Structure 1
């Protein structure tokens, strides 16, 4: 079954071009396009209008991508958010991630990368290109990141990292690891402390970036 996508972008020509591109992908189709977050909220009042993925422009009038991402994270956490932007600055990137985005692409992305990004988002739970992953790791480290050789990660923490790179919930990870959710949280918190990070996304990106986890 094809995955459904909604595009939120105030530039109609861009939204239509992206829509036509995606409709050419084998495993995805576009439900509709909207100009901003307020329009998206209206559409979501009807269950049939709720997609698997929202491609979300960062800069929109009335309700921008940051506000819309936070609303989606709060009210529809089951919907995956992929940010689309002309901005590649760290502040926009990190703010979108904090507000719930699981991916971030620039609008000049090649169609093949967009298709790959959508597949990865659905199968792995996130997608960030190399430039974004590098900036996230460096920024979240904020100069406090220890040298890799000074960090000891246990086998169980490594196992947790592997599962953290998927879309599994903490409860589901606990079931996979045959332990309690509280124990899983202890692995997470220990890694937060060791790596000086604060989010699961940052842990996952670090794991992929350093080769601890192979996607």
Structure 2
């Protein structure tokens, strides 16, 4: 069954073009479009289908992408939000991620890159291209969680060395010679110890504390 997508973009021609592109993907389908965040909320209210993924523009009238991402995080955390924008500045990337976006892609990306990004978003729960990852890591400077007085086991340190890689949790388990459930227990323990919420947060923590390399 195809993963359902809603496009939120105030440029109708762009939204329709994207819809046509995505509907040729084997595993994804666009079920409807919205012109801005408020239009999306209104459509949810009249029992439109709740999608699994939302591709969200940033610059929109009435309710922009930043506000919309935050609203979705607070009201529909099960939806995976990916920013799809022309804005590639540090502030926009960091703010969208802080507001709950699990991915970021530029509108001038090739259709195959979009399909790959959507697949990674479903598989891993997040997708950030290299340029966006560099912004995330560089802006994490000064935001490192303190590890003083908090015990980290050798196996947790080993897990952190893989956290900033592209390996899935299943692949990390193979590298560590343990079960995926054990890897998840390392992840959950570290997230609880250092108040981390996402794999991106884990990756930043690992790099800034010297457990992983950039």
Quote the offset at 1:33 in angstroms. 0.8
The answer (yes or no) to whether the contact 1:69–1:99 under 8 Å persists in 2 is yes
| Aligned equivalent of 2:181 | 176
Offset of residue 36 of structure 1: 0.2
Q: Which residue of 2 aligns with 1:55?
A: 55
Query: Per the alignment, do residues 207 and 130 of structure 1 end up closer, same or farther by CA in structure 2, a change over 3 Å counting?
Result: farther
CA RMSD of the aligned region, Å? Answer: 3.4
After superposition, the Cα gap between the structure-2 partners of 1:68 and 1:135, relative to the gap in structure 1 and judged at 3 Å, is same
| Corresponding residue of 1:188 | 191
- 1: CA distance, partners of 2:183 / 2:116: 32
**Who is 1:5 aligned against?**
5
1-side partners of 2:63 and 2:27: how far apart? 30
Q: TM-score when scaled to structure 2?
A: 0.76
Map 1:134-149 → 2, pairs under 5 A: 134-142=134-142
C-alpha change, 1:205 and 1:103, in structure 2 (3 Å) is farther
Unaligned runs of 5+ in 2: 146-151, 170-179
Q: What's the offset of the Cα at 1:49?
A: 1.6
1:83-162 matches, cutoff 5 A = 83-142=83-142, 154-159=154-159
C-alpha distance in structure 1 between counterparts of 2:153 and 2:120, whole Å: 26
What's the CA shift string for 1:70-91, capped at 9, x where partnerless?
A: 0100000000000011110010
Deviation at 1:188, TM superposition (A): 2.6
SS at 2:97's partner residue? helix
Count of residues in Structure 1 that have an aligned counterpart in Structure 2: 192
TM-score, length basis structure 1: 0.76
Q: 1:101 to 1:161 in 2, by over 3 A?
A: farther
1:157 touches 1:191 (CA, 8 Å); kept in 2?
no
